[in-house]
Amino acid sequence: MTLHRLTSAEQARTATRSLLLDNDERQQVFRVCLDALAHPGTIRSLGITRHPAAHLPMLALTDLMTPVAALGTEPVDAITTIAGLTRAPITEPTAARWVLTGPDPDPAALRTLPTGTAADPHLGAMVCIPVADLAGPEGLPLTLAGPGIPETRTLTVDGLTAPVVAARAELNSAYPRGVDLLLITPDGRLAGLPRTTVITVNSGIEGDAR
């Protein structure tokens, strides 16, 4: 029997296929993200562990038609890897449809993200923010209100700061333009904060997108 030795190119393609999410995994991540955004502040589990959790939404939902960007220098290598797998074009944050930040993103940099237009609000950025926890004793206490929330909902986020919440409010001040956030913990828990959600930090209203 003759054994076929893989060429370097074939080895690379095999390695890439092993890293790509399969169809079932992509559908799973899509459903989790959609549900989290439809019910803001509820905590969902991505349920996939073979990639860093904060990368999963972009690995599942970006492609040639969805420009991606790193906000700051920390996520640059991750964006390069994600784009290499999904073939999504890498661009500047000001033109990206999907943005990956590092922990504790810079509020000033966040303010540069695209918010879409009144005619095309879907061009506003989806922002993936890695956070330490979504339900622990430490963190920023948030009260949420808006579509998808019966009255109010509370969320305590370790890794989100009040200045970031304020920057989000500014970006979402001209609804339907705005940005949407996915907060993702290292163990794969996720919460969505769409632009329609009103966030109160302690006693001060930080943003109303309605």
Q: Residue 5: what pLDDT?
A: 58
Regarding predicted confidence, which is higher, 137 or 18?
A: 137
Q: Residue 136: what pLDDT?
A: 86
Instruction: Output Rg (C-alpha) for the chain, integer angstroms.
Output: 18
Q: Residue 1: what pLDDT?
A: 53
Q: Is 128 within 8 Å of 153 (Cβ atoms)?
A: no
Closest to 125 measured CA to CA, from 168, 73, 189, 76: 168
Q: Is 53 within 8 Å of 186 (Cβ atoms)?
A: yes
**Banded pLDDT at 19 (limits 50, 70, 90):** confident
- Single pTM value for the model: 0.89
Question: Within a 10 A sphere around the Cβ of 53, how many other Cβ atoms?
Answer: 20
Give the C-alpha distances (Å, rounded to integers) separating 123 from 73, 86, 96, 115, 199.
23, 19, 9, 7, 22
- Greatest extent of the chain over all pairs of C-alpha atoms, in Å: 75
Q: Residue 137: what pLDDT?
A: 87
Regarding predicted confidence, which is higher, 137 or 101?
A: 101
Q: Which domains does the chain have, with CATH numbers?
A: 24-207 (3.40.50.11310)
Half-sphere exposure of residue 4: CA atoms within 13 angstroms, side-chain side: 5
